[in-house]
Amino acid sequence: MNSKKKEGVFVNLLMFIYCGIGFLSILIIDFFFAIVYVIVVIVSFFLVIYFRCTKCPCKDKNCTHFWLGKLAAKFPEKESNDLTVTDNLASGLYILGINFFPFPWLIQNFLLLFSFYLLVGITFLIGPLFACKKCENYKCSMNKNMRIKEATS
């Protein structure tokens, strides 16, 4: 794995860990909703791959998130690389689903709540500051924002 992909893989690992914490916080209290959360995470994950990653021109060779690009390359090709409102909404649903669904269960355990949102915060710092800066997809809104911030600094 080249150094360009390390941050993206680390971001994916952090997301996996905090989703596990979210799952655990729900499982302690309610088995049914823990399974619902797993379904939400999986569906949300595939929504992002289908609506965002499949449009990325780097998906099969230079994906900074490594295996997400390889998975996206298995989906049918999109006609355009431009992200639409629907694509961005799907990403928003992903973020809401995995980050806020477990909140009612997390607030019942301060340690899990703190750990979960600390990892969410670190993930949202590392992603844009490191992985997105190395990405070659200049049509991605995250990449554009980082390039603009970089140019004005």
Confidence tier at 20 by pLDDT (50, 70, 90): very high
**Is the pTM here over 0.95, yes or no?**
no
DSSP, residue by residue, 63-125: -TTTHHHHHHTTSPPPS-----HHHHHHHHHHHHHHHHTTHHHHTT-HHHHHHHHHHHHHHHH
Max mean pLDDT among 5-14, 17-26, 63-72, 77-86 falls in 17-26
pLDDT in tens, 54-112: 877 776 776 666 677 778 778 887 777 777 888 888 888 888 889 999 999 999 999 99
Residue 148 pLDDT greater than 50, yes or no: no
